[in-house]
Amino acid sequence: MSGPSLPPAAFAAPELIQRLRAAVGDAGLVTDPQVLAALTTDWLGKWHGHAAAVVRPADTQEVAAVMKICHDTHTPVVTQGGNTGMSGGATPDASGAQLILSTTRLNRVRQVDPINNTLTADAGVTLAQLHEAALAHDRFFPLSMGSEGSCTLGGNLATNAGGIAVLRYGTARDLVLGVEAVLPDGRIWNGLRALRKDNTGYDLRHLFVGSEGTLGVITGAVVKLYERPTARATAWVGADGLDHLVALLARLRTACGERLAAFEMMSHESLALVLAHTPGLRAPLESRHAYHALVELADTHDFGLGALLESTLGSALADGRIDGAAVCTSDAQSANVWKIREGISHAQVRAGRAIKHDIALPISALPVFVREAEAALRAADPAVHIVNFGHLGDGNLHFNVLLPLDTPPERIHHATLRFNGLVHHLVRAHGGSISAEHGIGQLRRDELPLYKPAFELELMLRIKQILDPNQIMNPGKLL
């Protein structure tokens, strides 16, 4: 990692800039040093790079023209959407030789088909704009996360984003029907099919999902829409053990089936952190609990959702499986609990330097994993500040360690290596994954070979070699 500084635009060969300008016009080239500085640093402020230039093509044809130039000149390309990624995948390296291809001008919703329940859009359309476009046709696009005002469809697919609705609707991979992509040599692959059944061979769209910009540029996609849930019931639950929340999840699934839309967890420490760093939020329960959960049911009509939630939580309380619960009785109360959940990422940034572990485990293994991981971290450092929260309904924890804001970089580095080793060793022992939803990027690239079978990595490298023989797509990321 290098320190932040303005990018040296002079690194770019004038001839390359000239050819790019001819392809995308003046409006498609970013030269303002302030804008460049923002695009060469990631959202967390953790990675800083330099770029030869930033191009912002206006359509798929312009992306193809840019990629053809980059292929011919062997210019490395970092595709960037909303730049909200958590793994440094969209930040160029420090060489100043890499080109940022920003998708922000690929911003058209191309078609909404409410009968087929599909939406086709450019890759640079933000997730919030997709929600609005679906809503305008009385439809619902379920992918949802705290960054939705800025993150893009292309970024969501390239990272196979998760978020708060995976429990019911799956990840970005489960929501995509078709992909349009520009290959590294500038050829356009139009796979924009709006079909739920298509058994005509290998399903290439899934190669681009989770590819983190290493195989080509996603320029558009067809995604699934759903009936709009108009009724919701939301509750906040307190429990003194994580195993109690896991048991509650199973009980809610049995009682509520498909209506269970969210089951988000946070430890007492995570709740305290967000309340301390976010003005205007209130603790939903007066009593103190080791763990909390935000539970939400949703349906297209209100078939007594509130009563169903109340009775299910009531029976769990009566059995002693949970220790406190409050069903929200107003929109303001629901908004408050969701703000608490969504405020944790921002609170962490304000409170300290987070060593993040975005991990997935079988849900049944979560309680024992957390017990063992907390014990291992405390044995290494008795004063460790663990911030444990996440999408419990998907088996996805953000099992983070928070260091004080003034921790020297050297100490952060050593603590990161130490804690990563302890946590990820246990993740593997319990059959989990070291990246649930944030991807590999620069963050986990060096660790990936330790946790992914060598044969799988070899197959990934072979696919990369076929699609990107000049190795120009996002070098230094993922593989």
Ligand X SMILES: Cc1cc2nc3c(=O)[nH]c(=O)nc-3n(C[C@H](O)[C@H](O)[C@H](O)COP(=O)(O)OP(=O)(O)OC[C@H]3O[C@@H](n4cnc5c(N)ncnc54)[C@H](O)[C@@H]3O)c2cc1C
Q: In the complex, which residues of this chain contact ligand X (CB under 6 A)?
A: 43, 78-86, 89-90, 103, 123, 145-147, 151-152, 154-156, 158-159, 161-163, 212-213, 217-218, 345, 437-438, 441, 474, 477
**184, two tokens:** 């590294």
C-beta of residue 267 within 8 angstroms of C-beta of residue 340: no
Strand partners, 78: 100
Q: Whose Cβ is closer to ligand X: residue 146's or residue 170's?
A: 146
How near is the Cβ of 333 to ligand X at its closest, in Å?
A: 22
405-429 b/e (C-beta count within 10 Å ≥ 16 → b):
eeeeeeeeeebbeebbebbbebbee
C-beta of residue 399 within 8 angstroms of C-beta of residue 363: no
**156, two tokens:** 């969501």
Q: Whose Cβ is closer to ligand X: residue 124's or residue 284's?
A: 124
Q: Whose Cβ is closer to ligand X: residue 146's or residue 421's?
A: 146
Q: Whose Cβ is closer to ligand X: residue 244's or residue 356's?
A: 356
**Which residues contact residue 399 at a Cβ distance below 8 angstroms, ignoring those fewer than 6 apart?**
357, 359, 370, 373, 386, 388, 390, 423
Q: Whose Cβ is closer to ligand X: residue 323's or residue 358's?
A: 358
Q: Whose Cβ is closer to ligand X: residue 137's or residue 445's?
A: 445
CA distance 223 to 311: 36
C-beta of residue 53 within 8 angstroms of C-beta of residue 99: yes
CA distance 474 to 479: 10
Q: Whose Cβ is closer to ligand X: residue 324's or residue 352's?
A: 352
How near is the Cβ of 387 to ligand X at its closest, in Å?
A: 14
Q: How, if at all, do strands 324-327 and 352-355 pair?
A: unpaired
What's 394's DSSP letter?
G
Q: Whose Cβ is closer to ligand X: residue 373's or residue 478's?
A: 478
How near is the Cβ of 398 to ligand X at its closest, in Å?
A: 9
How near is the Cβ of 127 to ligand X at its closest, in Å?
A: 8
How near is the Cβ of 66 to ligand X at its closest, in Å?
A: 13
| 44 CA to centre of own chain | 13
Q: What residue number has its CB nearest to ligand X?
A: 155
How near is the Cβ of 461 to ligand X at its closest, in Å?
A: 17
How near is the Cβ of 312 to ligand X at its closest, in Å?
A: 25
Q: Whose Cβ is closer to ligand X: residue 84's or residue 117's?
A: 84
How near is the Cβ of 154 to ligand X at its closest, in Å?
A: 2
**Which residues contact residue 5 at a Cβ distance below 8 angstroms, ignoring those fewer than 6 apart?**
48, 50
Say which residue the tokens 């975005």 belong to: 358
Q: Where are the beta strands (DSSP E) in 16-168?
A: 29-30, 53-55, 77-80, 99-102, 109-113, 118-122, 139-140
How near is the Cβ of 123 to ligand X at its closest, in Å?
A: 4
